A = this chain, B = another copy of it.
Amino acid sequence: MSHKVVRGSDEAIRDVGEGATIFLGGFGLCGIPENLIRALARRGTKDLTLISNNVGTTERGIGLLLVARQVRRMIASYVGENELFERQVLAGELELELVPQGTLVERIRAGGAGLPAFYTPTGFGTPAAEGKETRDFGGRGCVLERALRADFAFVKAHRGDRDGNLVYRGTARNFNPIMATAADTTIAEVEHLVETGALDPAHVHTPGIYVDRILRGERYDRAIEQRADRQARGR
C-alpha cells in the first residue's frame, strides 16, 4: 500500500495532460492544494478545465494558472476576487460556468457516489435553471442537476497516513473531502505525513480508499485572503 506515497508535487502530477479536467479543493485560499497548483504552473500544462469554488487571487492559488494562461474553462460558484480572471473572461480567453455553491458540491458528491442526477429546489426560477429540466415536487419547483466528475482531484489535508487516510483542520476541510471521491485519480497533499495507524479511525475524514497518491507538501504559505482591516491585506 505504501505505493500511494509519492516524493513530491512534481512527481504527483506527472501524468496530468493537456486538456485535463481537475477538481481543486479549497475555499478562497483556505485549504487549497497550493503545492500541487505550483507544480502544475511549473509543468505548464495548457487547456485545462478547472472546477473549484473560487479562483484564488492574482498571486496565489488558481491565479497562478490564470496568469500563465493554462486554463480554458472554469466551473465555480464565486469568482469576484480576481481581476485578472475578470479580464480574461471579458476578453473571451476563458469560459466560465457559474453554479450555485450547494449545487456544485452536491453535483460532485453525486459524481463520487454513483448517482447520475438529482432534483434540487436551489436556483429554480433563476438563471441557474436555464436550459435545465424542471419538475414540481410537492408544489415546489425543482431543477434536475447532473453529477460532475473529473480526471484528477487535487486536495489538501492537515494530516494523512501512508494508506491515504486524511484528516482536515478547521474550515480548511470545505470541498476537499467531496472532490476526493469523484475523480479518476485523487492526489492529496498534506502538512503532516504520518505512519498508517497513527490516525484515530473514528476521526478519519477521508478514508484512504479515495486517495491514489499522497505527498507531504513542500511549502505552506498559510496565507489569509481577506482581513477585517483591508489595510493589512496581502502580507
Contact = CB atoms under 8 A, between A and B. Distances in A.
B115 A118 contact: yes
A169 B115 CA distance: 28
Interface in A113-150: 113-121, 137-138, 140, 142
A119 B116 contact: yes
Contact of A120 (B115, B138, B167): B115
Contacts of A142: 116-117
A203 to B, nearest CB: 4
A203 B203 CA distance: 6
Contact-residue bracket for chain A: 20 to 34
A168 interface: yes
A117 B115 contact: no
Q: Would you call the interface of chain A mostly helix, strand, loop, or mixed?
A: mixed
A106 interface: yes
Contacts of A138: 116
A110 interface: yes
Nearest to A140: B116
Nearest to A173: B202
A200 B168 CA distance: 13
Interface in A90-122: 106, 110, 113-121
Interface in A9-61: none
A119 B121 contact: no
Contact of A116 (B113, B114, B117, B121): B121
27 contacts: A106-B113, A106-B115, A110-B118, A114-B120, A114-B121, A115-B118, A115-B119, A115-B120, A116-B119, A116-B121, A116-B137, A116-B138, A116-B140, A116-B142, A117-B118, A117-B119, A117-B137, A117-B142, A118-B118, A118-B119, A167-B202, A168-B202, A169-B202, A170-B202, A200-B203, A202-B203, A203-B203
The 10 A-B residue pairs whose C-beta atoms are closest, nearest first, are A116-B137, A118-B118, A203-B203, A117-B119, A116-B119, A115-B118, A115-B120, A116-B142, A117-B137, A115-B119
Given A117-B118, A117-B142, A118-B118, 13 more contacts: A106-B115, A110-B118, A114-B120, A114-B121, A115-B118, A115-B119, A116-B119, A116-B121, A116-B137, A116-B140, A116-B142, A118-B119, A169-B202
